[in-house]
Structure 1
């Protein structure tokens, strides 16, 4: 064997020897590559050491007990909300204990399905580059499935839940474009009675931390001191997501990217549509009917699903 061939074998051997491993509930995985990261979490592509099946491993670093409580709540919501359009929790584990004084952290590990296609955001960015719009029936079908996942949360017992961070990058896509709602770290009780300035500021701060600006509803930018907030916070986000399904991005993404005031744009309720596009007036009117600044004028997700069904039947020629 020549020197070059031997060197290749040595490098291959070294790769096999140093392949990083991680255990979740005693089950061993090899870490293949980093898929994404942000805040206090990261997602890696991992391979089951026994079955060699690929998964996505989400690792949430917790610096305090409050962080750990939120991360463990995400695991519980994933397990409790069983729906074909909500991402499945394959397995989970807690490693270590957080201690601010001792500068120690814990990690909540969540094994999730791996979707090679990536997120809806990835799909829409690819399509924007090629100028390829999704077909209207495909848009409506995908949107309906996402709404069904949200409906599952809004009808949860003993109390309705709200996702509070619905956006294209929180929708995984299977190879056949089946959407999966993910990242339940922002999930909370949907219906809240706000009584006073401290409760209003608390909710506003939580929204600033957990709800992405281009998809955040107007009532969470400036929370009134005495008000009622319900699951229609998610409905606003669904309206932004339907707009993105048609036109690649939220109607407020451009404002955010320019560095202008998203809050002002959202509260003004002015939604601009491209002058030319391949979609019917029906779908434009649906977006407008969802993006109502006053949450009391906003529909519930059940109404949206019924309306989408009507548009699908109309598009397919059904009476």
Structure 2
């Protein structure tokens, strides 16, 4: 009996060792293949960089983890450009990264172009992020865990801080592809936005079939359907498309972080009709659900701006808001169509007073919000949020900040 037990244990150990050997062999082969397919070392921004591993790819770009001579990690985006359109897109992305210097936006360190026959290789060197929000959610899902409300609000606070910096530009910058995959966790433990290849700096309103077709093709190439606002899905409604599309995407992101599912499937009609359901028996407060409804307001003219969203998140966190306020509000021309063409002026508005900018800080304590003007007069009636400036009793210009007591039914 003892002999057979020993033999049985020996066989079991042998099988375990054999399986371990197979796993190690596969890992070694995978690592060897990865190393063999990595590009040769390059010099970008005065740094000698060797490629460590591929982090991801999409379109005509691949992102690698690289290290310099001192072992410092970087993210290097390598793009094989073949057309003038692709070249213009990459130049625009590099310019955008240089413009949007912010603690919650991935920092660009350098860039370079190398002519390779009929191709042009473009390199964008950026700070390296330790984790992605998508990876963090996958880990939680595998363990059967979820984010707490405190964690969700912390993530959204960082993302809103980045978006406020974009929307505070003159003209405002719309990201247009805010989604889980484009939020990273940096080595400084701050969540950061990445991938600015879909940004636009001018609003547009398609006015005819040709404009709608051109805009639809461009939106299909550069944005993600599950996060698109209704005005991006129904271009024939001829509604203004501007930075308010980011607010809708923030609502989708907030929903995803809370319930680990998206509010909309890949169906345009569902998005246009704003048909979604909040899961029952969840542990989140009514206020955070109300904020989701607020962001997912179908009419972009009634959808709140980023400062209202950020302020409500700060209220729920019990901390001052950490946002970048626009120095001066100047209405921008509305482009007719996607590229080129005539333009018409937006309805004139009064300029806002110039509050001081607030610098983002680590998550433990958000930066103080710029002081607002005296209490505003009652907001004009009409709409969930009338996104208008109106005069306070002291003659200054104020903006609405209160959350309405009721949200639109999904």
TM-score, normalised relative to structure 1:
0.84
Alignment of 1:1-319 (within 5 A): 20-48=40-68, 50-96=69-115, 104-117=118-131, 119-157=132-170, 159-174=171-186, 177-224=189-236, 226-252=238-264, 255-256=265-266, 262-313=267-318
Native 8 Å contact 1:196 1:225 kept in 2: no
Considering only CA atoms, is the larger Rg found in Structure 1 or Structure 2? Answer: 2
SS of 1:264 mapped into structure 2: helix
Q: In 1, Cα distance between the equivalents of 2:189 and 2:94? A: 25
User: Structure 1: which 5+ residue stretches go unaligned?
Assistant: 1-11, 98-102, 257-261, 315-319
Change (3 A) 1:180 1:38: same
Native 8 Å contact 2:45 2:109 kept in 1: no
Q: In 2, Cα distance between the equivalents of 1:54 and 1:184? A: 21
Query: How much has 1:51 moved relative to structure 2?
Result: 2.0
| Structure having the larger proportion of residues in helix | 1
Q: Deviations over 1:118-168 (max 9, x none)?
A: x111111211222222221221122012111111111112x1110010000
Query: How much has 1:25 moved relative to structure 2?
Result: 4.2
Query: How much has 1:239 moved relative to structure 2?
Result: 0.4
Q: Deviations over 1:18-72 (max 9, x none)?
A: 9831222453211111111111110111111x22211111112211111011111
TM-score, normalised relative to structure 2:
0.66
Q: In 1, Cα distance between the equivalents of 2:95 and 2:141? A: 36
**Alignment RMSD (CA, Å):** 2.2
Number of residues of Structure 1 aligned to a counterpart in Structure 2: 285
Native 8 Å contact 1:170 1:181 kept in 2: yes
Q: Which structure is richer in relative contact order (CA contacts within 8 A, separation 6 or more)?
A: 1
Q: Hey, which bits of structure 1, 4+ residues long, moved more than 3 A?
A: none
